[in-house]
Chains A and B, each alone.
Chain A
Amino acid sequence: MKLFRWKAIVPLCLLLVLLAVFWLFLLDGIVRRGIEFAGSQITGARVDVESADIRLLAGSLHLHRIEVADPEAPMTNLIEVEEAVADLRLTALLQKKIVVDTLAVRGVRFGTPRTESGELTRRVESTGAVAGRFGEWIENLPIPDLSLEGLGEAVNITEIKNDSLATIRLARNISEAADSTGRMWSEQIRSLDLQAEIDTARVVIERLQNLNLRNLGLRQIREITKTYNTARDLTHSLEQKRDNLQSLRSDIEEGIGYLKEGISGLDETRAADYRYARTLLQIPSLGAPDIGPALFAEMALDNLRPYLNILDKIEQYAPPGLKTRQRAGPERVRMSGTTVHFPRRRSYPAFLLQFAEISLSLGEEGSREDYLLLINGLNSDPAVYGEPTTLSLDRASGAEGERRIRAAAHLDHTTPLAVDSLTVTREGMGMGEVSLGSVGGNLDLGTGMVSLRLVRAGERLDAAMQWNCPSVTWESTTDKSGVIEFVWRTISGLNSVVIDVEIAGTPSRFDLSVRSNVAGELARGLESQLGDQIRRTEARVRSEVNLRIESFVADARNRAEAVESEVEERLAEFQRQLDEVRAELQARIGNLTERLPAGIIPPDK
């Protein structure tokens, strides 16, 4: 039987050529759909490409009219690109990797309207997913509230409930712990059986004392030997008991340490209860460091949020290090599974954009300005590529005018510790409006300059933003009277506003600081009007909290001290008695040994 069908070789080749031609014919569509799918995965909204034209021999890819829908506003495009031309490296395609040597993009516009919704009808698990560390972090930043309502009114201290005071809870816990550990220690001391041992030792001492050493008959010698052996065994037993007592003593001292720690923690929780009660009664802090965040933190975080989301995206798609990575497999009729990527040094990253020059058109319709975005080394495997990614954005040469945006980014994920730095400056542009709900008005920041400097190193993030608005306007939205009217008069006299925001820390611990001349003025105004009143109210609040917690605190202290002194006393007493009987027993044994002729007392084993 023949193994090969030699006559099938030619038809097979013909079939393969036909398949290749068929594939090439469909390749443009495959690339277009691939870009649309990958794009929607990243953005979480529809990405439409009008046409893709791939020329394998020339190694180039032309994309026409790319529309990326805004996931937050599906009838608007986040970005619209007229044309993109990429030079691809063909050898990388054989490794199923995309290496773009150069990319030229022109006609980029933002916020253009769409004819149909960009909402995705089908989403896979990872669609629009963001690692979200910094995004979540910022969502959870607590922003203090500034409420001037109720100022000057009688303080309703019944709002303060015992159940809500942490000091009471802690004091109760300490009292219970003191009782239960006291009982446990008593039981442990009893289980050592010290008193019985001491009593036995005293009886043996008496027997040693009453021994008749003059007439040494056989019976007396047996009696002396027996008593001696008992005394010697008892000495060892007493030493053992003393060691056990020492061990228990150190355990008890440790437990007492915990109780004392709890007692000293009561002062901290008392301070926390003061703060809690203060917030409950909505007494505003008069310090500018507290007022600043209440007024402007929300606005600052709104401005910072997109940049943090970008950091999260970059971390998700260009993670640091050379670890294997798992991503959802390709969409197909069969189960997609998971595709595992195995990056290796001295190879191509899965995606690399060596250099891109992107022409952008920014601004309102009719007053658009041309900008140039340059990207170097954007890639999916920074540790493989080995060079940081840099981006810079500035006005195209020749453009003039007051309005200007400048941005620069340096993203270094080549080592396991990702270090990103980003600076953005916007000048001569509308800075937006800030709602000052607590004082019943709006602040229009007018045109000015805002700058952002953001550095992230691993888990740590440092961000600083500054608004410099030389010509602001104030708009009152409510009728005002009393304190609020005074406050409004004070701050609305300001023509210029400077806001400095700093956020620093890690997701588990951070500091938010907002300084502003508005906050300073507001603090001074409130202090002059309400300082004494607020301080009096704060004193009342503290006194009310003290009144509620004092009995619990005193009870906790007393119980802890009682347990400590009682246990200490018992331990000391047992220690004293043990030492006493042991010393006496040893003395009697010594005395007996000296007085008896040699050979009667058996040698120690």
Chain B
Amino acid sequence: MPLLALIQKLIKTLNSEGTPNQIAAGIAIGAVVGLTPLMSLHNLALIALAIITCVSIPGVMLGWMLFVPVGFLLDPQFHEIGRWLLLQPSLAPIWTAGYNTPIIALTSFNNTVVLGSFVGWTVLAVPIFFTARIGVIKYREHLYDRLAKTKLFKAVKTSKLYKLYRLFRPE
């Protein structure tokens, strides 16, 4: 429990700002955790990056939650992409170097699903960022006021989920 409290406090402290760019960047970074296998070194590095930069941490959590099912769904495609890349003779020197380099070898990029999903995320990260950014702006402009008046919204507002939701509230 102290650990949980510490994480909550950390998140609370770190998320005093929530511009569309920060939230979109958080979602884009969170997508990598959802799209690629969780226990990977690159996920640790990107989460650390999200913590020390001013991206929205709840945005990261949201991106993670949103993209976990997508990751599971796309695993066969990621496997094929990774397999294709790993078996390209022209790329073999790169993989061989990475496989035999300390730390880099721990990334597991020699696994088809890890590599395929990471490449998939790399390609999708920018579209995810812009789509999320547009979504947040549109939401704040058009949807927030109408939703704020509903009973469900008021009920949710009193719950803990609202802490997360607050990030999408217009400034």
Residues of B within 8 A of A95 (CB): 99-102, 105-106
Most buried by B among A97, A329, A341, A343: A329
In this complex, how many residues of chain A approach chain B with their Cβ under 8 Å: the count is: 36
B94 closest partner in A (C-beta) = A342
Residues of B within 8 A of A9 (CB): 52
A493 interfacial by beta-carbon distance below 8 Å: no
Stretch at the interface among B69-77, B143-151, B155-163: B69-77
Q: How many residue pairs bridge A and B at CB < 8 Å?
A: 111
A96 closest partner in B (C-beta) = B105
Determine whether the beta carbon of A337 is less than 8 Å from that of B103: no
A367 interfacial by beta-carbon distance below 8 Å: no
In the complex, what's the smallest C-beta–C-beta distance from B117 to chain A, in angstroms?
A: 9
Determine whether the beta carbon of B113 is less than 8 Å from that of A335: yes
**Given the complex of chains A and B, what is the CA–CA distance between A348 and B92 in angstroms?**
18
B131 interfacial by beta-carbon distance below 8 Å: no
Determine whether the beta carbon of A339 is less than 8 Å from that of B110: yes
Residues of B within 8 A of A14 (CB): 6
Residues of B within 8 A of A91 (CB): 102
Chain B 77-98, CB within 8 Å of chain A: the 1/0 string?
0110011001100001001101
- B window 1-18: CB within 8 A of A: 3, 6-7, 10, 13-14, 17
Determine whether the beta carbon of B82 is less than 8 Å from that of A337: yes
Determine whether the beta carbon of A342 is less than 8 Å from that of B79: no
B38 closest partner in A (C-beta) = A334
A94 contacts which of B37, B53, B102 (Cβ < 8 Å)? Answer: B102
In this complex, how many residues of chain B approach chain A with their Cβ under 8 Å: the count is: 44
Residues of A within 8 A of B87 (CB): 324, 340
In the complex, what's the smallest C-beta–C-beta distance from B116 to chain A, in angstroms?
A: 8
- B window 31-74: CB within 8 A of A: 37-39, 48, 51-54, 71-72
Determine whether the beta carbon of B95 is less than 8 Å from that of A15: no
B167 interfacial by beta-carbon distance below 8 Å: no
Most buried by A among B48, B83, B110: B110
In the complex, what's the smallest C-beta–C-beta distance from A545 to chain B, in angstroms?
A: 56
In the complex, what's the smallest C-beta–C-beta distance from B7 to chain A, in angstroms?
A: 8
Most buried by A among B37, B95, B101: B37
**Given the complex of chains A and B, what is the CA–CA distance between A344 and B98 in angstroms?**
11
A335 contacts which of B10, B79, B96, B100 (Cβ < 8 Å)? Answer: B79
Known interface pairs A97-B105, A334-B37; A344-B100 also in contact (CB < 8 Å): yes
A16 interfacial by beta-carbon distance below 8 Å: yes
Determine whether the beta carbon of A3 is less than 8 Å from that of B53: yes
**Given the complex of chains A and B, what is the CA–CA distance between A338 and B80 in angstroms?**
10
Determine whether the beta carbon of B51 is less than 8 Å from that of A340: no
Determine whether the beta carbon of A342 is less than 8 Å from that of B95: yes
A92 closest partner in B (C-beta) = B102
Known interface pairs A1-B19, A3-B54, A95-B101; A332-B39 also in contact (CB < 8 Å): yes
Residues of B within 8 A of A332 (CB): 37, 39
Determine whether the beta carbon of B3 is less than 8 Å from that of A18: yes
B114 interfacial by beta-carbon distance below 8 Å: yes
A121 interfacial by beta-carbon distance below 8 Å: no
Chain B interface secondary structure, helix, strand, loop or mixed? helix
Determine whether the beta carbon of B92 is less than 8 Å from that of A324: yes
A58 interfacial by beta-carbon distance below 8 Å: no
**Given the complex of chains A and B, what is the CA–CA distance between A324 and B96 in angstroms?**
9
Residues of A within 8 A of B82 (CB): 337
**Given the complex of chains A and B, what is the CA–CA distance between A94 and B75 in angstroms?**
27
Known interface pairs A335-B113, A341-B110, A342-B96; A15-B14 also in contact (CB < 8 Å): no
In the complex, what's the smallest C-beta–C-beta distance from B78 to chain A, in angstroms?
A: 8
**Given the complex of chains A and B, what is the CA–CA distance between A341 and B87 in angstroms?**
11
A2 contacts which of B54, B72, B76, B111 (Cβ < 8 Å)? Answer: B54
- A window 266-308: CB within 8 A of B: none
- A window 327-357: CB within 8 A of B: 329-330, 332, 334-344, 347-348
Determine whether the beta carbon of A96 is less than 8 Å from that of B106: yes
Residues of A within 8 A of B108 (CB): 96, 339
In the complex, what's the smallest C-beta–C-beta distance from B41 to chain A, in angstroms?
A: 10
**Given the complex of chains A and B, what is the CA–CA distance between A11 and B13 in angstroms?**
10
**Given the complex of chains A and B, what is the CA–CA distance between A344 and B53 in angstroms?**
38
Residues of A within 8 A of B112 (CB): 329, 337-340
Chain B 98-135, CB within 8 Å of chain A: the 1/0 string?
11111101101011111010000000000000000000
Most buried by B among A4, A7, A15, A343: A15
**Given the complex of chains A and B, what is the CA–CA distance between A5 and B13 in angstroms?**
10
Residues of A within 8 A of B110 (CB): 339-342
**Given the complex of chains A and B, what is the CA–CA distance between A95 and B99 in angstroms?**
7
In the complex, what's the smallest C-beta–C-beta distance from A18 to chain B, in angstroms?
A: 7
Determine whether the beta carbon of B95 is less than 8 Å from that of A4: no
A8 interfacial by beta-carbon distance below 8 Å: yes
**Given the complex of chains A and B, what is the CA–CA distance between A335 and B74 in angstroms?**
10
Known interface pairs A339-B110, A340-B87; A15-B99 also in contact (CB < 8 Å): no
**Given the complex of chains A and B, what is the CA–CA distance between A338 and B76 in angstroms?**
11
In the complex, what's the smallest C-beta–C-beta distance from A9 to chain B, in angstroms?
A: 6
* Residue contacts A-B, CB under 8 angstroms, 28 given: A1-B17, A3-B54, A4-B53, A5-B14, A5-B53, A8-B10, A11-B6, A12-B51, A15-B7, A15-B10, A15-B51, A16-B48, A18-B3, A91-B102, A94-B105, A94-B106, A95-B105, A96-B106, A324-B87, A332-B37, A335-B78, A335-B79, A337-B75, A337-B111, A338-B111, A339-B110, A341-B99, A342-B92
8 tightest CB-CB pairs across the interface, nearest first? A337-B113, A94-B102, A335-B75, A337-B112, A342-B96, A342-B99, A347-B100, A95-B105
20 more A-B contacts (CB under 8 A) besides A4-B52, A334-B72, A337-B83? Answer: A1-B17, A1-B19, A8-B52, A9-B52, A11-B13, A15-B6, A15-B10, A95-B99, A329-B111, A334-B71, A335-B75, A335-B76, A337-B82, A337-B114, A339-B111, A340-B111, A340-B112, A341-B110, A342-B99, A348-B100
Give chain A's interface residues, CB within 8 Å of chain B. 1-5, 7-9, 11-12, 14-16, 18, 91, 94-97, 324, 329-330, 332, 334-344, 347-348
